[in-house]
Chain A
Amino acid sequence: MELTVTGVNALTSPHLHIWDWRVSLYLFLGGLSAGLAVMTTILHLRKGGALVKGEPAGYIAPLLVPVILGIGMFFIFLDLDRKLNVYWFYLTIQPLSPMSWGSWGLLVFFPVSGLFALASLPDDKLSWLMVEPLKNLAVATRVYLFPLAIINFAMGIFIGIYTGVLLSSFVARPLWNSAILPVLFLTSALSVGAALMIMIARTNKVRLWFTKMDIWMILAEMVILPLFFYGQFTSSGAHRQSIMPFFSLSHEYSFYGFSMLVLFVILPIALVMKMLEIKEDHEGELTSQALAKMRLSACLVLLGGLIIRLTFVYAGQLSKFT
């Protein structure tokens, strides 16, 4: 019998990918909930709370934050190979492990976002809670709306950064090992958060306010993304090699090349659509066509955020420190 053993990794055998779509979805949904948490705080505190008056997103968006976060955490749970040992995350603190302090951060973020959601529920929506203790808690937390909003904001920024740091701490994976990655993921999180807020909002002033905000976030993304690639290209050979899948049109890397092509098309389209939206006259009700355009541009931003997470998680595992 001839036995030959060679070093194989995800580059030669795609089934050897360490992390797959479950981790990508976790990072996307974690970022989305973080971005939405930041946006809900802004909605509540901006202009002394004037923006939130008469706006259903003021209580729907905070409710969605823990739900989206919960779904994201479910996907990372699915990725664990020893699910019954999950409690060990919370029996220790490993200060050098981003996954450790991230899991503790999630443990804080989840109840804070839940309490903020309860506190922001108006009287006529308390019936949604069904059980009496929850209704009492919602009423009791209202006096703490402001501090909860501030903590919610801070935790949103923390989780947005954490989703990037989780990947950037690996010296072994040059594509991820960049300090720009957490900034890119945070910007993307804020951008998708604003996009979801636009989809939830019912009043024009809120939609337009978050459209303006999203324009800045998309612009920031469009600056940070090329800067990230430039930084990698001008770094070591391994770092330069790590971004090649994104710029190769060979069939081997077609997923990454095509994804980047899509990203560099949809982000500018979303930006232009949003810039046109804020120039239109919004005195009256939005026409169904204008509304559809607004939602389409928000969907493009969400798609962009998903593409960034999917491609970066997979491509990072093709890169190797040499």
Chain B
Amino acid sequence: MRKILSLGLAAALLTTTLAGCGGGSGTAETTAAPAATTAAAETKAAAPAETKAPEASGGAVEITWWAFPTFAQDSADTPAGTYEAEIIAAFEAKNPDVKVKLETIDFTSGPEKITAAIEAGTVCDVLFDAPGRIISYAQNGKLVNLNDMFTDEYVKDVGNDALLNSCKSDDGSYYMYPISTAAFCMAVSKQALEDAGAMDCINMEGDRVWTTEKFEEMLGKLSAAGYNGATVYCSGQGGDQGIRAFVTNIYDSQVTNDEVTEYTLNDEGGIKALTKIKEWVDAGYMLNGSAYNGGEDVDQFVAGNTAFTTLWSPGLASQRADTLAENGIEAIALPFPSEDGVPEMEYLVNGFCIFDNGDAARAEVSKKFIDFICNDEEWGPKNVVRTSVFPVRQSMGDLYPGEAEMQFYASLTKYYSPYYNTIKGFAEMRTYWFPMLQAVLNGDSTPEDAVNDFVTKANQSIVNAQ
């Protein structure tokens, strides 16, 4: 009886407080303080909602742009977001009624931030990312359809079906507007190789393709000369595409089948590759990378602690150029070694998507902004160069005339493998990838068991995401 009474009282009081009036007259003073703070919070909360009204009536529209550090800054010392701010200034100069708010995010915690923000309804309008995440947002119905931006002229100019398909969700509509692309590859330290007498292991001719046999020979020589091999990094999902491409290439396996409907890494080649990698780690040819992620592996490479890295791209080469120079290292980019000498490259596509924030005006302005970044006569090519990779528009031509390394990177385009980053459940699959490698490297299970387990879980993730 007393319990019910007290609960009732509590409830009654709660309602009055919630309603904003401070209870009985006797308590007015004492409850004033917290009530005021709540009120303040509510006003704050109301603010974003109110800003929508003037937009529709033609006032200034404000959009937010979240950017991963894909655009290179002027130098390694320039803070993140400086170049992006220049783009915004140029865009705002041409569109005085628009304000763009910039937010820089990083690859490690950024994805979770986006998820949290989507759930909280505080996500940005424009996101600069890659298909892997973008298409999964699209599949969850969080994005604005961009079909009207893919004009016939544009599609013809891109002229690469694999690339265009990577921008589509399974409903056949486009959700990502691509700007630039390049293959992920690996890099070796010229100094280390020369010192170890291993320069003859690599191939500097043509597309620089090489075989796993040669690669193993290089490992032996490096190890004999006291150099550390790359870490088989797998502490988390950062940069996992590099090591995944390495695993699939050395014995000609594939992450998925050609139709990208099923994971196939547990074929003979995949198992053999993991077995071999475990052997190399045990022999000290490569390092157990359970404590490093991709970025940290690159750190070790540019610091001269390891002689090569399995995560490299033109973008990384330009971002790390200063550190490499400081440490007196010349990085040679190479395709991944493979048994038959024909690599299958994974590649990145940089592009933009627009989150559906239920405001048509903001979506329109966002499209205009994306169009400006990618297609403005002055800023379009400049922005592509800042991503350090190659334009998706063929009409932009060669933006890196005379740069030998860039010619090499460009040559890798012909080795593009089926793009599986838009597969359903991709994000979930990535959470199974690094534990699988850790299990192999730490001897928790045989490579065969580990990869079978991975494929089972990964295939299940496709079903889960239906």
Do A and B make up one complex?
no
Hey, which bits of chain A sit against chain B, CB under 8 A? Answer: none
